[in-house]
Each structure stands twice: as C-alpha cells, then as structure tokens.
C-alpha cells in the first residue's frame, strides 16, 4: 500500500512538472551571485530561551514510516545560513556519538553565536549555549557563523571536546561604521561550566576581511577558513586578487585556536569575481582541496563559472596551481553536454537554430559543496545549467538545469560528471520587515568518517502550485567510489521529508560534513544522515525562527569486500626492475595516509635491511632501494603501513 501511494505521488508530481510548455518553464537569471543580504537593523521580538530540548519528535501528518523532527535551538531571524559553507554548521563526531549545530541565537540577540549539542546521537539536546558575546568590550555584532567540533586525539568523552566557530563581525574596520571588516572566532569545551574563549581580527592594510565563505576542521584537528580579499565601501566590494586563508591550531594551554594567515594569488576575471568557495580534506588531513566557482582571466571555451581546484598533499603547507574543470566544449564533461533534451534546447534557443552540443556553454552555481573521500579524491555537487556568455545569464527553469556530482577518480587528473536529479525550482526570495534573503537548491556533500561512502542532498519545491523554491523538501542520493567501474550512484533519488512534518517546509535544510555510521556485521553498514532545517514565522525572514533536527534518516549498505575498504594499503607492486643490480622501485598505493616502512629479509628469515620513509598521504608512493646494501641472492621485502603488511619476493644479481 505504501509503495503504491509513493508511486502515485511521484507520478503526480512528474505529470505536473513536465506537462508544461518548455518555453514557459524557462527562467533567466544573472550568472553572478548576489553575495550580500538585506538584513533588518533591529529584531522585532525574541523567543524565550531554552536549555534542554523536548525529546519527543514532532508528529507527522500521516501514519507512515517517515522521518521525525526534534525542535532544537532558535535564532532571532532567518539570515544565519546566508553565507555559510554548505555543511559547516551541523557537525557529527561519530567516535563520540555527538552532534553539534552552530547558529545565531534568539536571546539575548541574533548578534550572539551559540550552539546546540547532543551527546547521545541526537536524542537529547542542550540548547542555545552561548559561545560568543558581542557585548564584551572590544567586540562587535557577529553574523553568519560557521562551526564544528574539535575532538582531541584519542578522546571519546564529549565533555573533553570543544565547540569552535568563525563568523564575520560588524566592526567597521573596512572603513564603513557599523559594517564589515572583522572576523571573530573562539572555542568552548562541552563540559558543564566551561568558559568561552573569543577573539576578534580586524581588517588591516595587510589583510582585508569581509565574509568568510569556507570553513572546515580536519580529522586530525586543524581548522581552516577562506575569505576572498576585497575592499568594501559600505555597498559594494572589489576583489583584490587574493584568497585569504586562515589555518588554526588548537592551543591546549589557552583551550582555543591560534590562527596563522597567508594569501593565495588567484587571478579571476574582474567582471565575474567569485561566486563560492569551499575547502575540504581527506580523513588523513593531508590531502585537501579548495574549490572556487569563478572564471579565470584566461577563459575556457563554452564554460561560464566553473570549478577551479587548488590541491595540497602536505596538510596545507603548499597548494598547487589552479586545476580547472571545463564544463562545455569539445573537452567538456559529456554528462553535462548531454543532459538537456533536444526539446528544451530548442525552446532555449528559439527562434534561432540549436547549435551543436559542443558549442553550448554551461555553468555551475550559484553555490556548491565539497568533500574528499578516503582515496584523496574530490567530490562536489551543484546546479549545472546553460549559460549565455555574452549576456551573463543562466537558464534555471525546470528541464533547463540539473543537480550534478562532479568528481575526480585520480586526484584531479581526470574528471567525471553524473546528474543526481532534476530539481523543479532553483531559488526563492523571502521578504519581510524591510529585509530580504534568498534560498537556492543548497547542494550538500557528506561522507562517512572514513571517507568510503559519499552522500548528496539538495532542496526542491515539488508542490504543484510552487513558482519558486520557498517550500522545499530535502532530496538525497549516495555514491560508493570503490564499487563497480568508476563508482556506483544510488539507483534512486530519495525524498527525505516526504509525508513528514518537514514536508514542504525544510528551508535551508543542512546535512553535516560527516554522518553517523556503525558496522552491523556481515559486510553491512548502517548510516544515519542527520539534517537541520529552520522554520520561519509566516515566511518572514525578519522574525525569529525555530530549528528542527531530523534524527532518523537511515541508509543501510551491504557491500562485498567491505572489510577491505578500510585497509591502509591498497596494493604493493612487484619491484622493478627485477632482478636488479643497482636501484629498484616499489610502488605503494595507499587508501589512507600513513607512515610507510620497508623491511628486507634473506632466505633464512634474517632481517638484513630496514627503513622508514615517514608519513605519506593517500595515493601512490614510489619507494627506492639501492642494491649496494645487499649481496646477490633471493630476498623478501615487506611494506608496512598502519600495521598492515604486504610481502613480495625480489632478486639481486
């Protein structure tokens, strides 16, 4: 009965969505994102403070097996998500069964930064904990926080972990009183009675700050954020040619993060600027990527705003030259060039003829998200659509754009694309109380803690009368990188909030960077993917909002060879040349980063040589060995990484 009902419901939506005239569905929008919100100068009212959540979930409208919702904290208005990194406000630490949500508060005011914390996997909560107080002397009102959990190495007690955040501040140091220029950050232990440490960084001639776009905490515990360096005149910004990057190291003595800063020069097209920035690292904390949606000075053919990656393999000590992903043109991504039907292409180009598909320009944006898997490969998701390069516009109507997964299977050398779904609505604009804020499809990417499974979510308003994306559901799909030829996507798109109390109300739905997971045995893993969304009062963004937590969206994965996926060593090659008389090479493919050791034994089992090459990030490492330390004969060499050993035979002549 339930399957039939779901099928009829889905068919109904499909008929509504695609029985329309393609030309009527076409919506043109500017390719450059509006990165500044019009926020109310003062709040209208506040909600009463809460300290502990009611743990009973909100009731769903039908007696069906659907997700539930737990009311958690509140905010003074709906603007808190406006500039956040897509998955940097909800943070899961699977080892502690803990989840935290960073947000602006309702009381004392929305200029405070706080957090909600659950130490039992999302069942019970401590709400609206203050971690930043703007009334302290020398500090200013905060906006748009991002944050997460810092967990010291080896710790499994949530009380010994910390909440940390980063937010722009209205300190006026860019030159306009009461406007942008400052950045605030701090940390606070989750232990009862802990005190908060908070800091402020003002704009100077050396570093100019505005609205940090990207934030993450690596699993080893390093915090990172990125802000495009701009000048701000109180109404508009001008890009100054650099990414300002902050790297934070936890100081045990002060129980706070110490940040250092550096610039990465990135020459983008001055007229286009930057739409979005994300940063993420592999589980080892060594291989990481920054992804920027922009156009460089030298443009790519038939490609508008597109992913530009910077890569590190040494924990952020150095970063590569830009790695561009071409969307359209002969060298573009085939899945991108072929996802729009001939009918919709004809409607877009009408009355002109449709050009060859290799001569159609494409775009990704306004926003995207980024994760890095266990093998050190980057995965992003975002809306892909046709672009008019001369007019500077994009096509956003149903049938003209799709939610895409774009990834590299080999560390950024080659790129693949896959259409995850077909959203019906792209964006929505909420107004009220003299304020305006926009919401788009909100692409999200998450992984299991070990990086072996990748998850995607996005928002879409599929209700029949919808004309924009103001009444969204949360949609979901997954990807297993090591299964099948080039990885396997989930067969179906899942509507997470269908028939639940969150149905058509999951505004700014947010998925964490990592999800909960547990091994059920017999090659089976159960993943719990949490979401947080906010509910507005009468869709007025200037009024206080209520946040809800979805605790019970679960997916189970049965994968052959699941026991092998967590191995550090994927393979060790036969040494080459073999036999050898001078020098030989051994290729080691690491699934995860680790220290590599090499031992050599003679035919009697005696160890005749041993060396350690130190830490190496995920990927292929070539070990070199000189025959001068060995006499001619047969030997066995053993490669050791993270306690795993692989042995092969070699011959010295």
High-pLDDT (> 90) share of the chain, %: 77
- Cα 287–Cα 291–Cα 297 angle in degrees, nearest 5: 125
Does residue 257 register a pLDDT over 70?
yes
Domain-wise residue ranges, the chain: 2-564, 569-652
Does residue 451 register a pLDDT over 50?
yes
Q: Which residues contact 30 (CB under 8 A, 6 or more apart)?
A: 392, 393, 394
Are residues 546 and 534 in contact, defined by beta-carbon separation less than 8 angstroms?
yes
**Residue whose token pair is 């300290």:** 51
Is 49 or 402 the better-scoring residue by pLDDT? 402
> Exposure of 124 by Cβ count < 10 A (0-12 exposed, 13-18 middle, 19+ buried)?
middle
Does residue 47 register a pLDDT over 50?
no
Are residues 202 and 173 in contact, defined by beta-carbon separation less than 8 angstroms?
yes
Mean pLDDT computed over 178-201 = 98
Domain 569-652 sits in CATH at 2.60.40.3080
Task: Give the number of C-alpha atoms closer than 13 A to the C-alpha of residue 307, restricted to the C-beta side.
Answer: 32
Are residues 186 and 196 in contact, defined by beta-carbon separation less than 8 angstroms?
yes
pLDDT (tens digit, 9 = 90+) per residue, 609-645? 999 988 887 666 789 999 888 999 999 899 988 777 8
List the single range of 95-104, 111-120, 332-341, 639-648 with lowest mean pLDDT.
Answer: 639-648
Reduced to 3 states, what is the DSSP secondary structure of residue 337? helix
The pLDDT of residue 3 is 35
* Phi, then psi, of 562 in degrees rounded to 5: -60, -30
Asked if the domains 2-564 and 569-652 are classified in one and the same CATH topology, the answer is no
β partners of residue 381: 369, 405
pLDDT (tens digit, 9 = 90+) per residue, 504-548? 999 999 999 999 999 888 888 999 999 999 999 999 999 999 999
The pLDDT of residue 42 is 53
The pLDDT of residue 85 is 67
pLDDT (tens digit, 9 = 90+) per residue, 483-516? 888 899 999 999 999 999 999 999 999 999 999 9
The pLDDT of residue 84 is 67
The pLDDT of residue 552 is 98
Is 56 or 81 the better-scoring residue by pLDDT? 81
DSSP H or E stretch at residue 348: helix 342-349
Does residue 470 register a pLDDT over 60?
yes
The pLDDT of residue 564 is 45
Distance CA 236, CA 202 (A): 19
List the single range of 78-92, 280-294, 493-507 with lowest mean pLDDT.
Answer: 78-92
Does residue 90 register a pLDDT over 80?
yes
Does residue 62 register a pLDDT over 50?
no
Does residue 5 register a pLDDT over 60?
no
* Mean pLDDT, all residues of the chain: 90
Does residue 239 register a pLDDT over 50?
yes
Distance CA 487, CA 456 (A): 15
Residue 560 — very low, low, confident or very high, per pLDDT cuts 50/70/90? low
CATH architecture for segment(s) 2-564: 7 Propeller (2.130)
pLDDT (tens digit, 9 = 90+) per residue, 366-405? 999 999 999 999 999 999 999 999 999 999 999 999 999 9
Reduced to 3 states, what is the DSSP secondary structure of residue 8? helix
Side by side, the strands of the sheet bearing 90-93 are 90-93, 98-104, 113-118, 126-132
Reduced to 3 states, what is the DSSP secondary structure of residue 633? strand
Are residues 390 and 361 in contact, defined by beta-carbon separation less than 8 angstroms?
no
Residue 337 — very low, low, confident or very high, per pLDDT cuts 50/70/90? very high
The pLDDT of residue 39 is 74
Residue 25 — very low, low, confident or very high, per pLDDT cuts 50/70/90? confident
Does residue 55 register a pLDDT over 60?
no
Let me know how many helices (H) and strands (E) the chain has, helices first: 4, 42
């Amino acid at each position: 009965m339930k399957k039939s009902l779901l099928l009829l419901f889905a068919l109904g939506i499909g008929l509504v969505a695609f029985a329309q005239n393609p030309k009527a569905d076409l919506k043109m929008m500017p390719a450059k994102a509006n990165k500044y919100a019009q926020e109310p100068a003062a709040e209208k009212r506040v909600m009463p403070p809460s300290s502990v959540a009611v743990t009973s979930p909100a009731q769903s409208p039908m007696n069906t097996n659907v997700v539930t919702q737990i009311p958690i904290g509140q905010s003074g208005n709906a603007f808190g998500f406006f500039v956040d990194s897509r998955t940097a406000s909800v943070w899961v630490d699977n080892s502690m069964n803990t989840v935290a949500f960073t947000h602006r508060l309702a009381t004392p005011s929305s200029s405070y930064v706080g957090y909600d914390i659950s130490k039992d996997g999302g069942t019970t909560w401590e709400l609206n904990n203050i971690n930043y107080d703007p009334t302290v002397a020398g500090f200013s009102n905060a906006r748009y926080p991002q944050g997460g959990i810092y967990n010291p190495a080896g710790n499994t007690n949530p009380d010994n972990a910390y909440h940390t955040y980063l937010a722009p501040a209205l300190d006026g140091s860019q030159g306009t009183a009461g406007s942008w220029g400052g950045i605030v950050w701090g940390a606070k232990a989750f232990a009862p009675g802990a005190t908060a440490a908070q800091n402020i960084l003002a704009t100077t001639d050396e570093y100019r700050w505005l609205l940090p776009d990207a934030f993450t905490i690596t699993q080893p515990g390093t915090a990172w954020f990125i802000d495009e360096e701009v000048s701000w005149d109180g109404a508009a910004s001008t890009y100054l040619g650099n990414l300002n990057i902050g790297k934070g190291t936890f100081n045990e003595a002060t129980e706070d993060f110490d940040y250092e800063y550096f610039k990465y020069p990135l020459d983008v097209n001055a007229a286009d600027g930057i739409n979005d920035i994300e940063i993420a690292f592999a589980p080892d904390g060594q291989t990481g990527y920054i992804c920027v949606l922009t156009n460089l000075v030298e443009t790519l053919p038939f490609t508008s705003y597109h992913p530009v990656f910077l890569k590190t393999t040494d924990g952020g000590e150095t970063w590569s030259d830009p790695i561009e992903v071409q969307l359209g043109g002969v060298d573009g991504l085939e899945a991108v060039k072929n996802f729009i039907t001939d009918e919709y292409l004809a409607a877009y180009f009408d009355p002109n003829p449709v050009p060859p598909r290799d001569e159609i320009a494409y775009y990704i944006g306004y926003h995207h998200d980024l994760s890095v898997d266990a093998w050190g490969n980057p995965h992003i998701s975002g809306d892909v659509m046709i672009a008019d390069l001369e007019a500077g516009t994009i096509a956003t109507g149903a049938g003209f754009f799709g939610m895409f997964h774009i990834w590299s299977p080999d560390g950024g050398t080659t790129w693949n694309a896959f259409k995850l779904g077909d959203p019906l609505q792209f964006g929505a604009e909420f107004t009220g109380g003299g304020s305006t804020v926009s919401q788009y499809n909100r692409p999200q990417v998450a992984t299991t803690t070990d990086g072996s499974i990748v998850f995607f979510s996005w928002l879409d308003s599929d209700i029949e009368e919808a004309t924009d994306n103001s009444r969204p559901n949360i949609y979901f799909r997954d990807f297993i990188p090591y299964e099948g030829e080039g990885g396997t996507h989930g067969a179906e798109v899942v509507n997470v909030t269908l028939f639940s109390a969150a149905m058509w109300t999951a505004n700014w739905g947010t998925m964490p960077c990592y999800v909960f997971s547990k091994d059920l045995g017999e090659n089976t893993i159960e993943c719990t993917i949490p979401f947080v969304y906010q509910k507005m009062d009468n869709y007025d963004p200037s009024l206080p909002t209520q946040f809800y937590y979805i605790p019970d969206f679960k997916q189970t994965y049965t994968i052959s060879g699941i026991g092998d996926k967590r191995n550090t060593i994927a393979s060790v090659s036969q040494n080459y040349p073999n036999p050898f008389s001078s020098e030989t090479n051994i290729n080691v493919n690491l699934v995860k980063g680790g220290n590599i050791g090499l031992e050599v034994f003679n035919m009697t089992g005696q160890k005749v040589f041993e060396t350690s090459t130190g830490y190496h990030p995920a990927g292929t490492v070539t070990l070199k060995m000189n025959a001068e330390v060995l006499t001619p004969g047969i030997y066995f060499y053993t490669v050791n990484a993270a306690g795993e050993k692989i042995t092969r035979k070699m011959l010295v002549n």
